[in-house]
């Protein structure tokens, strides 16, 4: 029996200890009319050899195309040590560290993670993870509404330059709490949030403003000006950032005079594979003064009975298992194993390595821009500095182009932004991380050129 | 020692660094970082050694019996990890065309089908990232359903007092008020109290069956009738699905919507806190509201169905398609079990729990519901020991760690004083259970001889009992380099 160790002898001895004749007798409290018959839609079981063959065949169907696609998930090199250690049984098959003394490995690692993340973001504190970047933004919005006690409006300013799926996830999660997401337009020339459009909200009661860096178009926002606007208007500020970019760019804790209030985002670039979209992890940091409004687990350093240093879950009075309907969030199971990978990744790369990854990604994207815009009819959509992604416009149907290049050349040519932004025309969001070589970029440019111009 | 305390300026795992590249002229100076983030500067070997040694300070399923009630800590087959880590799976971009995803998507499509069958629901969405997000999605669907029918006076969700904390928290996130329903003497929901609580304000009820008290609510059909007659819907918290897998289907009990914890029943790893996967299943009337994306089939191709296909959907729970890698592991596990393996899970989980309960009672422990059959888990109450010996459930739990057993769940459900919620799972052998019983008997004797011994436990772990009060009062959640 797969994964069940009982011998016939074990079974009969156990049944006689219990005092029943058959295993079925143990279900005697369940009314007969509730018992189901055979599960006809489920195939019969397979052994490991058979299932391995099945999965290898399925994997082979998917192939490994050359990727210039980002839009919220990025292909970076992951050192071999990261997942070798992460999948050690002691990390992989442990539960949430409720029994602190038996979980010091996970707890210390999480404390180190919090320290790294807070420092990378320039913030005071970090939690131990949320589900993903998009749901982390939803949690940040809920947190800001709780934390901004002066505001009665439940209104959040949400730039249209943010990843549109983050906006829709946030909407789905906060809509039943009467929170209003107000669109803020972007400047058609720069792709940056339009500061003049904010003027109409000056003096109005706004709970928080969301500030992406870089934004969905890969464009660097004028984060200092946006944060200053928040401070002057006594509005909380929520940064949504790519953690890899923060090795290179000014972190949210240093924006304007006093930094933002809350930072969140997608942790995937830090050692987590693309893997069809998950599991990834959402991160969240904030200023010390808001820590009691933070959702999710937090690990603290303390001492044991002998005065020896140790680690434990702390501020648990925020959480559902203690506070139930008054908790800061319903989250329980989080994305711990991905944080394990990210902590090992950040330790291996360190400040220098991480900056190099960010810089090489930026440089490769610069090269990509040069090569692609040299093609007849390909233009940059925005005249702004970008991190490792940018929007190009083409004179061809973007959807068709993407499908053809994927099918004929095994190249993922980018993300079709015209679905969410029809005003941009046929536009593609393209990305080149440190993993793309000059040759890869050349190949993409050649294929795109012949698609568009022959 | 912390990894930061091993750091040396200028050291690094250089084999991991991409080429030198110092030209930053394409970025505006004002946008650049000037401070250096506090990440460790250590060699690759230091990193490997540090984190390997940290891992060795953990208890885990791979190293310990882990009878943590409500958490279903069963063996996580290694094949699931190996196969889900095939490069084509880990390398697949979530927004890549479905052409380059037929293999992966076919697994997801089949998984939806298997989960539908084993729960008796009409449709499944795999997208919620964990149980709590599945609860949120489920209650949001209940709300969308009532709202669509202009039935907007329904402002309350009923939750038994034994429910997991995520249940009330999820209901509140959906904008509902929560009303608690008491448990009757025998562990079943108090039917009279339920009858009194339901009304035109009732949007639905959230139930686990078997409940977190480790007993199967025999009156479930009656409960379903009462709530449905009042116009409310029934939500099934699938955390305890291991007890009834392939034996009883929530759909047949009358539930309208359920979530499953694949990180429990379908054996995906807990990873020291996550990730999980909390797919939701629904009856016909809630199908239009399912969270997207959902895997469908169009012209022979597997595709992700979205808002265009499900215009009444409650929306998206995460940026992509949920915890895909977890779902893949669950798929592999389900294929290995197959239709004959699923009911066996429930059978042997139940056999192990009943055996363990009987033996623990024989050595002097008190069951919370001695007259009831245990399901896949059961509760002991140490009320008597607390009173007579001044030993708490926490003390016994901590002492177990010294004997190399992970502790059961303590102080949940809250309504049973000094409780231990014990779930052995089907993957443990009889002799492990026997060892556990013997250890529990020894601990009871220790308590009788000198309760202070238990108060000081554990003694053999990397740390002794930690000061949780200090952890809150002198909050230290981020390491900072010492000044000077
Ligand atoms: C009974 C019960 N319901 C709900 C949950 C929540 O599930 P998750 O932790 O996956 O969010 C859990 C487990 O933690 C549980 O035991």
Q: Which residues pair with A211 in a beta bridge?
A: A239
Specify the ligand 1 atom closest to the Cα of B133. 11
Residues of B in contact with A266 (CB under 8 A): 319
Q: Is pLDDT above 90 for A189?
A: yes
Atom of ligand 1 nearest to the CA of B278: 10
Mean pLDDT value of segment B236-246: 98
Q: Do B274 and A337 touch (CB under 8 A)?
A: yes
Q: CA B203 from chain center: how many Å?
A: 25
User: Cα angle vertex B283, ends B281, B285, to 5°?
Assistant: 125
Instruction: Calculate mean pLDDT across residues A320-324.
Output: 91
Judge residue B32's burial from the number of C-beta atoms within 10 Å of its C-beta, 0-12 exposed, 13-18 middle, 19 or more buried: exposed
Using CA atoms, how far residue B11 sits from A116, A347, B19, in Å, is 17, 11, 16
Which pLDDT does position B483 carry in this prediction? 67
The full set of domain ranges for chain A reads 66-76+350-453, 80-345
A 10 A CB-CB count for A360 gives 23
Q: Is B476 on the interface with A (CB under 8 A)?
A: yes
Ligand 1 site, residue A95, Cβ cutoff 6 A: no
Indicate which atom in ligand 1 lies nearest the CA of residue A333: 9
| CB contact residues (below 8 A), chain A span 377-406, against chain B | 385, 402-403, 406
Q: What ipTM goes with this model?
A: 0.98
Cα B322 to Cα B334: distance, rounded to the nearest angstrom: 18
In A251-318, at which residue ranges do the beta strands (DSSP E only) sit?
262-266, 282-286, 298-303, 309-314
pLDDT of amino acid A454? 84
Q: Across the strands, what pairs with B338? A: none
Say whether B180 sits in a helix, a strand or coil. strand
Mutation target for A interface from B32, B45, B51: give the one with most A CBs within 10 A.
Answer: B51
Q: Find, among B416, B427, B417, B413, the residue nearest to B376 by Cα.
A: B427
The angle at the Cα of B184, spanning B179 to B185, to the nearest 5 degrees, equals 150
User: CATH number for the B79-337 domain, one of 3.90.550.10, 3.40.640.10, 2.60.40.420, 3.30.465.10?
Assistant: 3.40.640.10
**Rounded mean pLDDT of chain A?**
97
CATH class of the domain defined by B347-469: alpha beta
Ligand 1 pocket: which of B130, B138, B169, B261 to mutate (most atoms within 8 A of CB):
B261
The H or E element spanning position B116 is helix B102-119
**Structure token digits, residue A371:** 């090569």
For residue B410, give the 3-state DSSP assignment: strand
pLDDT over threshold 90, residue B94 = yes
**Residues 6 or more apart whose Cβ sits within 8 Å of residue A222:** A192, A193, A195
Give me the phi and psi of A174, to 5 degrees please: -100, -10
- Distances from the Cα of B430 to the Cα of A8, A38, A143, angstroms: 12, 28, 48
For residue B81, the SS3 value is helix
The Cα of B246 is separated from the nearest Cα of chain A by a number of Å equal to: 7
- 10 Å CB burial of residue B63 (0-12, 13-18, 19+) is middle
Q: Which atom of ligand 1 is nearest to the CA of B212?
A: 1
Q: Is A191 on the interface with B (CB under 8 A)?
A: no
**Chain centre distance of CA B123:** 22
* Contact in structure between A55 and A429 (CB atoms under 8 Å): no
A196: left (phi over 0), alpha (psi -120 to 50) or beta: alpha
pLDDT of residue A115 exceeding 60 = yes
* Axis crossing angle, helix B44-55 with helix A104-121, rounded to the nearest 10: 130
Average pLDDT (B68-82) is 98
Q: Identify the CATH assignment for A66-76+350-453 out of 3.50.50.60, 3.90.1170.50, 3.40.250.10, 3.90.1150.10.
A: 3.90.1150.10
At A24-66, the pLDDT tens digits run: 999 999 999 999 999 988 999 999 999 999 999 999 999 999 9
| B484, pLDDT greater than 60 | no
Q: Write out pLDDT tens, residues B299-320.
A: 999 999 999 999 999 999 999 9
Shortest alpha-carbon distance between residue B372 and chain A (Å): 8
- Which of B126, B166, B376 should be mutated for ligand 1, with most atoms under 8 A from CB? B166
Average pLDDT taken over every residue of chain B: 97
Nearest Cα residue to atom 12 of ligand 1: B239
Under an 8 A CB cutoff, do B461 and A91 touch? no
Please count the other Cβ atoms lying within 10 Å of the Cβ belonging to residue B120. Answer: 18
Judged by average pLDDT, the poorest of A175-189, B21-35, B230-244, B413-427 is B21-35
pLDDT band at A248 (very low <50, low <70, confident <90, very high): very high
List where CATH 3.40.640.10 sits in chain B.
79-337
* CATH fold label, A80-345: 3.40.640
Confidence of residue B195 (pLDDT cuts 50, 70, 90): very high
Q: What is the model's pLDDT at position B25?
A: 86
Q: Is A289 an interface residue toward B (CB < 8 Å)?
A: no
Q: Which 3-state string (H, E, C) describes B17-78?
A: CCCCCCCCCCCCHHHECCCCCCCCCCCHHHHHHHHHHHHCCECCCCCCECCECCCCCCCCCH
Closest CA to A208 of A235, A233, A234: A235
Which residues lie below 8 Å from residue B207, measured CB to CB, with a gap of 6+?
B160, B163, B189, B217, B220, B223, B234, B235, B236, B237, B255
Q: Which pLDDT does position A406 carry in this prediction?
A: 97
Predicted confidence (pLDDT) per residue in B321-373, tens digit:
999 999 999 999 999 999 999 999 999 999 999 999 999 999 999 999 999 99
Q: What is the pLDDT of residues A331-382, one digit of tens each?
A: 999 999 999 999 999 999 999 999 999 999 999 999 999 999 999 999 999 9
């Amino acid at each position: 029996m797969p994964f069940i160790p009982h011998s016939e002898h074990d079974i009969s001895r156990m049944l006689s200890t219990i005092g029943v004749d058959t295993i079925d007798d143990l279900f005697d409290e369940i009314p007969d009319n509730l018992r189901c018959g055979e599960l006809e839609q489920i195939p019969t079981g397979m052994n490991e050899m058979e299932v391995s063959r099945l999965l290898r065949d399925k994997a082979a169907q998917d192939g490994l195309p050359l990727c210039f696609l980002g839009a919220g998930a990025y292909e970076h090199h992951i050192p071999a040590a990261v997942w070798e250690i992460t999948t050690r049984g002691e990390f992989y098959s442990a539960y949430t560290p409720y029994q602190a003394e038996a979980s010091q490995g996970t707890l210390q690692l999480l404390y180190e993670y919090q320290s790294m993340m807070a420092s990378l973001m320039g913030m005071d504190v970090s939690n131990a993870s949320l589900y993903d970047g998009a749901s982390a933004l939803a949690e940040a919005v809920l947190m800001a509404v709780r934390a901004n006690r002066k505001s009665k409006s439940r209104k959040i300013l949400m730039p249209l330059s943010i990843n549109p799926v983050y906006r829709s996830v946030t909407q789905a999660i906060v809509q039943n709490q009467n929170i209003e997401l107000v669109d803020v337009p972007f400047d058609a020339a720069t792709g940056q949030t339009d500061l003049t459009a904010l003027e109409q909200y000056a003096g109005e009661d706004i709970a928080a403003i969301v500030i992406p860096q870089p934004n969905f178009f890969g464009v660097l926002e004028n984060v200092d000006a946006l944060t200053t606007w928040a401070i002057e208007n006594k509005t909380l500020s929520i940064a949504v950032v790519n953690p890899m970019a923060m090795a290179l760019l000014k972190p949210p804790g240093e924006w304007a005079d006093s930094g933002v209030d809350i930072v969140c985002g997608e942790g995937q670039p830090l050692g987590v594979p693309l893997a069809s979209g998950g599991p990834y992890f959402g991160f969240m940091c904030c200023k010390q003064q808001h820590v009691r409004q933070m959702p999710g687990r937090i690990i603290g350093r303390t001492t044991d009975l002998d005065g020896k240093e140790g680690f434990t879950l702390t501020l648990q009075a925020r959480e559902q298992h203690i506070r139930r309907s008054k908790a800061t969030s319903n989250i329980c199971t989080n994305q711990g194993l991905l944080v394990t990978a990210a902590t090992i990744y950040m330790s291996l790369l360190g400040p220098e390595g991480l900056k190099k990854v960010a810089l090489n990604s930026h440089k490769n994207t610069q090269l990509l821009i040069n090569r692609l815009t040299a093609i007849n009819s390909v233009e940059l959509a925005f005249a702004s500095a970008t991190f490792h992604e940018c929007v190009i416009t083409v004179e061809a149907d973007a959807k068709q182009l993407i499908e053809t290049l994927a099918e004929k050349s095994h190249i993922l040519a980018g993300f079709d932004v015209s679905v969410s932004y029809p005003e941009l025309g046929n536009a593609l969001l393209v990305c080149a991380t440190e993993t793309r070589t000059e040759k890869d970029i050349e190949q993409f440019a050649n294929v795109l050129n012949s698609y568009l111009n022959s | 020692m912390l990894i930061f305390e091993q750091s040396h300026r200028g050291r690094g795992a250089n084999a991991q660094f991409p080429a030198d590249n110092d030209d930053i002229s394409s970025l505006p100076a004002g946008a650049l970082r000037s401070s250096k983030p506090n990440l460790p500067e250590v060699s690759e070997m230091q990193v490997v050694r540090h984190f390997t040694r940290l891992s060795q300070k953990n208890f885990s399923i791979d190293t310990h019996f882990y009878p943590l009630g409500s958490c279903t800590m069963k063996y996580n087959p290694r094949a699931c990890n190996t196969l889900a880590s095939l490069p084509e799976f880990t390398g697949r971009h979530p927004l890549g065309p479905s052409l380059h995803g037929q293999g992966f998507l076919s697994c997801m499509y089949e998984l939806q089908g298997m989960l539908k069958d084993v729960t008796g629901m009409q449709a499944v969405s795999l997208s919620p990232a964990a149980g709590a997000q599945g609860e949120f999605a489920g209650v949001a669907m209940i709300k969308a359903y009532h709202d669509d029918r202009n039935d907007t006076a329904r402002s309350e969700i009923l939750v038994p007092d034994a429910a997991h904390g995520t249940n009330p928290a999820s209901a509140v996130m959906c904008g509902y008020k929560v009303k608690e329903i008491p448990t009757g003497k025998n562990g079943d929901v108090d039917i009279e109290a339920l009858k009194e609580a339901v009304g035109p304000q009732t949007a639905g009820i959230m139930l686990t069956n078997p409940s977190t008290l480790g007993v199967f609510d025999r009156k479930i059909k009656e409960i379903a009738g009462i709530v449905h007659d009042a116009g409310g819907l029934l939500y099934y918290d699938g955390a305890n699905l291991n007890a009834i897998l392939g034996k009883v289907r929530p759909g047949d009990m009358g539930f309208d919507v359920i979530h499953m914890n694949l990180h429990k029943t379908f054996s995906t790893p807990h990873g020291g806190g996550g990730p999980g996967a909390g797919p939701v299943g629904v009856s016909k009337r809630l199908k239009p509201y399912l969270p997207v994306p959902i895997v469908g089939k169009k012209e022979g191709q597997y595709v992700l169905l979205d808002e265009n296909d499900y215009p009444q959907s409650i929306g998206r729970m995460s940026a992509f398609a949920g915890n895909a890698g977890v779902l893949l592991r669950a798929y592999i596990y389900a294929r290995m079990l197959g239709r004959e393996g699923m009911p066996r899970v429930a059978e042997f989980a139940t056999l192990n729990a009943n055996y363990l309960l009987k033996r623990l009672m024989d050595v002097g422990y008190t069951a919370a519901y001695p007259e009831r059959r245990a399901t896949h888990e059961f509760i002991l109450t140490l009320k008597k020991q607390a009173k007579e010996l001044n030993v708490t459930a926490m003390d016994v739990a901590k002492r177990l760690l010294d004997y190399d057993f992970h502790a059961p769940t303590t102080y949940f459900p809250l309504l049973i004083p000094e409780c231990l919620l014990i779930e052995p799972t089907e993957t443990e052998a009889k002799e492990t259970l026997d060892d556990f019983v013997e250890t529990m008997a020894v601990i009871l004797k220790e308590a009788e001889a000198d309760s202070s011994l238990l108060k000081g436990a554990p003694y053999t772990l990397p740390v002794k009992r930690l000061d949780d009060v200090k952890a809150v009062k002198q909050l230290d959640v981020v390491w900072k380099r010492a000044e000077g």
